[in-house]
Amino acid sequence: DIVLTQSPGTLSLSPGDRATLSCRASQTVSSSFLAWYQQKPGQAPRLLIYDDSTRATDVPDRFSGSGSGTDFTLTISRLEPEDFAVYYCQQIATSPGAFGQGTKLEIK
Amino acid sequence: EVQLVESGGGLVQPGGSLRLSCTTSGFTFSNYWMTWVRQAPGKGLEWVANIKQDGREEYYLDSVRGRFSISRDNRKKSLFLQMNRLTDDDTAVYYCARGISTSRITPLLHWGQGALVAVSS
């Protein structure tokens, strides 16, 4: 099974900063089969990015995805207060569709 | 509007059983693979199982295979998760989810609000 490892575990930044979140796969994954989600406390996850760098409906363009092979990155260009949350990557190429363990983005 | 509503969660003793349901509306249920994802308290997301449109293909997380069974009723637009021989490690919020596309290989766009399953004596 493919294992995804996210880093850092926690990222402390300020509004207006640029955030770079990493997701590393245990084996090659097509960027078309790597997705990113955002989750806020008490809420279900929200799909942000899929199919390489496609943003889901209503996702602001400050969110972008990149990467290939085993290394993928979610970038938030300028943090807004509502962006502080937990972020997960997921590979959807195979079942089980494993998630990474998450990166918590907190206000510094 | 796509809606997914889980039900059937609750407190169960170790070794017990529980059946979760996910009632859907706002889309043609029979056209989509459906997925269960869980989240233990304070932990990350864990993919549990998924099922093909016609119910003839299923996939499971290793740790639940043989104990959990995913099924669906396309006439009732409902998804189910039968959970047997439950352990403390199965304590989690269980989410029902649907993908963006009708393919098996699809990110999960629509999620329910979750059903809490607590396994404790």
Inter-chain CB proximity A47 and B106 less than 8 Å: no
Return the pLDDT at A42. Answer: 95
pLDDT(B107) > 90: yes
- Tens of pLDDT along B74-102? 999 999 999 999 999 999 999 999 999 99
* Residues of chain A above pLDDT 70, percent: 100
Token pair, residue B24, equals 């859907």
Q: Cβ of B85: how many Cβ atoms within 10 Å?
A: 13
Query: Hey, what are B62's tokens?
Result: 């290793």
Q: What is the pLDDT of residues B42-86, one digit of tens each?
A: 999 999 999 999 999 999 999 999 999 999 999 999 999 999 999
In this model, does residue B121 exceed pLDDT 90? yes
Give me the DSSP letters along chain B. --EEEEE--EEE-TT--EEEEEEEESS-GGGS-EEEEEE-TTS-EEEEEEE-TTS--EEE-TTTBTTEEEEEETTTTEEEEEE-S--GGG-EEEEEEEESSSSSS--EEEE---EEEEE--
Cβ distance of B112 and A95 shorter than 8 Å: no
Contact B107 A92 (CB under 8 A): yes
pLDDT digits (tens, 9 = 90+) for A54-107: 999 999 999 999 999 999 999 999 999 999 999 999 999 888 899 999 999 999
Which of B39, B47, B48, B98 is best to mutate for the A interface (most A CBs within 10 A)?
A: B47
* A55 in Cβ contact with A61 (< 8 Å): yes
Report pLDDT for A94.
87
